Amino acid sequence: MRKFAFKPFKGDKTVPTDDPTESRNPVQKRREQVRRAQRTHRERKETYIASLESEVVRLRAKEARLESKIKTLYAENSILKKGSTQQDVPLPTETEAADEIISLTVFQENSITKKGSWRKQISVTQPHKPITNFSQPVSPPSSKSSSHSSTSPTPTPSPTTHLGALDPDMIGMDFVLTLESPCLSHTDISPIPTPHHPRTSSLPTTTGHALTLSACLLHTHPSPPGHRQYSQTPWRAPRSSLSHVLSISSNVPLADGEVTPVQAWEYVRQHAAFSGLEVGRWEMLKEKLVGAVRCYGYGGVIERKVLENVVFEAFVVGRIF
């Protein structure tokens, strides 16, 4: 009769894990991370190109309609001028609607949350009206002056002023331009070598930021591309630029849980307590958000959770404490 001996169970030599990547070596993990990053970049690029193609088609159709409308208006205007002259009616000398035009300048902005930190951004004002931010013009980056202080060309609102007392379009433009300021150097590039962008093998031919508000406004700057962010020359642009960029913001390539600065403005302005927020806390909100902006080559984005937390802190926690 055979004798059987039971051996103690030592368990499986391989330790099971819920994460299959933990059993792989670091080289494999790194390769997977690189492939994932390449795939994400490729998807963003494809979405961005598709958005640009769609926008080009839309703009061409709009241009054709406008050309037809302009010809009709020119003909009508000629008839009206002729009739007015015959009736001795004086013609108006001011043809520009001041309320539809904004004035822009590239400033260096002093960070409120980080002392001694300066960033360059586009400052927006409305001609003959007070501005709606605290932007202060300072010396350009090439200046060796130790003093950055200067006076703003127009009065700034008091920190206790409520947003409801200010122009919402101007507030919105300033908000979006502040959040897009980390990408200003990405937006203003030249396809040819410049003193600021000398010829290199990696000289970019496109900005990837064509769907941003900053790109829309810089396009009307009198200086050539690559020089605009270094110019202190003011220029003017239509104030309808924000609504136009807002209409195409849904086409910007985004990952899940990300929002663009324009979409962040849309989220903030719809808050029930928006009009009652003081300017001082509004400036702090902008500073916290601009510090959370990340750019992956196609314009700055913010994590939606970060946006929601900062807005909650400004609108709810700030009122309680």
Q: Which domain holds residue 190?
A: 100-320
d(CA 125, CA 173): 10
Is the Cβ–Cβ distance between 78 and 69 less than 8 Å?
no
d(CA 70, CA 20): 64
191: in domain: yes
Hey, what's the torsion of the CAs at 122, 124, 128, 130, to 10 degrees? -110
75 and 114 part of one domain = no
313 and 198 part of one domain = yes
Position 183, amino acid: C
pLDDT reported for residue 308: 94
Return phi, psi of residue 107, to 5°: -115, 165
204: in domain: yes
10: in domain: no
201 and 263 part of one domain = yes
9: in domain: no
33 and 171 part of one domain = no
Q: What tens-digit pLDDT sequence spans the chain (321 residues)?
A: 555 555 665 555 555 555 555 556 888 888 888 888 888 888 888 887 877 787 777 778 878 888 888 889 888 988 988 888 888 888 776 555 555 777 888 877 665 545 545 778 888 887 655 444 444 433 333 433 333 333 344 456 788 889 999 988 889 989 999 999 998 888 887 766 656 556 555 555 678 888 888 888 888 888 888 888 888 888 888 777 777 777 776 666 666 789 999 889 989 999 999 999 999 999 999 999 999 999 888 888 999 999 999 999 999 876 654
249: in domain: yes
173 and 292 part of one domain = yes
165: in domain: yes
Concatenated DSSP letters of 74-143: HHHHHHHHHHHHHTTPPPPS--S-GGGEEEEEEEEEEPSSSTT-EEEEEEEE-TTS--SS-------TT-
Q: In sequence order, what are the residues at sequence separation of 6 or more whose Cβ sits closer than 8 angstroms to the Cβ of residue 204?
A: 189
201 and 127 part of one domain = yes
67 and 202 part of one domain = no
164 and 292 part of one domain = yes
61 and 122 part of one domain = no
64 and 188 part of one domain = no
214: in domain: yes
pLDDT reported for residue 291: 92
13: in domain: no
The reported pTM is 0.67
d(CA 259, CA 309): 14
28 and 134 part of one domain = no
126 and 174 part of one domain = yes
d(CA 117, CA 315): 26
Return phi, psi of residue 235, to 5°: -145, 170
pLDDT reported for residue 160: 82
Tally of domains in the chain: 2
